[in-house]
Amino acid sequence: RKKKARVSCSLPEPSWEERLANAVTPLWRLPYQEQLQVKYESQRRILQTLASRLEELGIDAQKPGGLCCPLQPVVPSPIINGYRNKSTFSVNRGPDGNPKTVGLYVGTGRERNIVCVKANHVENIPSKHKQVAQCYQEFICHSPLDSCILFHEGGHWRELVVRTTRCGHSMAIITFHPQQLGQEALTTQKALLKEFFTCGPGAVCALTSLYFQESTMTRCSHEQSPYQLLHGAPHIFEELLGLKFRISPDAFFQVNTAGAEVLYQAVGELCQPTGDTVLLDICCGTGTIGLSLARRVSKVIGVEVVEKAVEDAECNAAFNGISNCEFHSGKAEAVLPQLLASWEDARPLVAVVNPSRAGLHYRVVRAIRSCRAIRRLLYISCKPEGEAMRNFLELCCPPDPQKKLAGEPFAPMLAIPFDMFPHTVHCELVLLFTR
């Protein structure tokens, strides 16, 4: 008998472009309504987990569906494609072996299979960002200096951050490892960069601001190594809910501006502000939430760790003729306990917290719980299944002398997810707590 030939059913290997799209925007193939449903189910599971964890603490938190509180449908993003106002591009070896490829990573450092793929086809990145990335790659490919892939192996050219606004402004921030270069050589490189983006091929980007940062660390703040303005204006400006906002190189601003407007309007409603309300805006960034609500409350108090963001917030208040805001620079765990320990204001105090993925420091949670004036708290989280979950439990658990958690516990009342990140699995969850 003749053996039958085997028919191969294996699918062709996905292209590098598809691999990158699958890594960065894993829901990109789904119709948008299906993306929203995927995210709703994800948030539902998170609220079920929170309910179970609260039950373990002896708190009767089970609501219909096993949730800790009612969950509203995911609020869609007004813009689905090209919505990002900030993109960070890496420099590394591309699929073709070019060590000066500017793009996004496929693979992991742990598995040592990182490949840097151009992001031209990634749907959530606007064309302007892709244009600046392409120009930066052109510049470094013509540079005699190497890219810095591993710090200890030398090389200089590192990542690129691009920020844009709906006002038509654009900012590029280039990170450079100085290695052993002297000041004269650094000055030369900065001059060449400026020339390329103002008079050379990069002039097509029409940058509002071009920044340069010398950094020997993976991440570096302005305080650790100042951002050096090579060309243009020191800030770019955005308009949000009828207000004008100044943005510095490292200031936090929601990555989806149109989505942020929808989010902040909802936050305003959930705060239920009255004319005598004091709004406590923790992790306030450039002051967007507090300033958007300033005319509906008697006072806004903002707390933010990034000094430049606080400067932006103060300027933003001045731009918009808002005089009832004060902003405090420093770590929330250092500023807030002092601020609330002596709180004697009789006016109702509403807190809004919008921390990074690392969540709130336990001292911040302790200070919030100990302040009797805070009866209403809105927690905005882009990763509620992470460290934020710890915060939720700390806010809601019975008083615990061992953890120095005093004060009446909060209870989750309502959850609203906002799709700030179409095509990805992430969304922003707003949880309303009261006591």
Report whether 43 contacts 415 (CB < 8 A): yes
* 326 token code pair: 């004060």
Is position 254 annotated in a ligand binding site?
yes
The DSSP secondary structure of 315-356, one letter per residue, reads HHHHHTT--SEEEEES-HHHHHHHHHHT----S-EEEEE---
Q: pLDDT of 95-154, one tens digit each?
A: 999 999 999 999 876 767 889 999 999 999 999 999 999 999 999 999 999 999 888 889
CB 116 within 8 A of CB 127: no
Report the SS3 class of residue 18: helix
E strand or H helix at 390: helix 387-396
**Domain at 86-234, CATH from 3.30.2350.10, 2.40.50.1070, 1.10.4000.10, 3.40.630.40:** 2.40.50.1070
Residue with tokens 């953890």: 403
Flag whether 316 is marked binding.
Answer: no
What single string gives the DSSP state of each residue in 268-327? HHHH---TT-EEEEET-TTTHHHHHHGGGSSEEEEEES-HHHHHHHHHHHHHTT--SEEE
Q: Which of 116, 148, 205, 382 is catalytic?
A: 382
Measured CA to CA in angstroms, residue 83 lies from 78, 88, 256, 370 at distances of: 9, 14, 6, 40
Show the tokens assigned to 342.
């002596």
CA dihedral 326, 329, 330, 334 (to 10 degrees): -20
Question: 135 catalytic, yes or no?
Answer: no
pLDDT at residue 3, as a whole number:
52
Could you read off the pLDDT of 202-254 as tens digits, one per residue?
999 999 999 999 988 777 666 677 899 999 999 999 999 999 999 989 888 89
Res 291: pLDDT: 96
Look up residue 305 and give its two tokens: 């760790």
354 among annotated binding-site residues = yes
Residue range 256-434, CATH number: 3.40.50.150
Task: Identify the pLDDT of residue 2.
Answer: 52
Delimit the domains of the chain by residue range: 86-234, 256-434
- Please report the pLDDT score of residue 204 as a whole number: 98
pLDDT of residue 232: 97
pLDDT of residue 270: 96
> Could you give the CA distance from residue 226 to residue 217 in angstroms, rounded to a whole number?
13
Opening angle at CA 320, ends 317 and 323, nearest 5: 50
Residues of the chain with pLDDT under 50: none
Query: What does the pLDDT read at residue 62?
Result: 72
Instruction: Please give the pLDDT value at position 5.
Output: 53
User: What is the model's pLDDT at position 6?
Assistant: 54
Predicted pLDDT at 404: 83
Query: What's the pLDDT at 10?
Result: 64
The sign of the dihedral angle between the CA atoms of 73, 79, 80, 85 is: negative
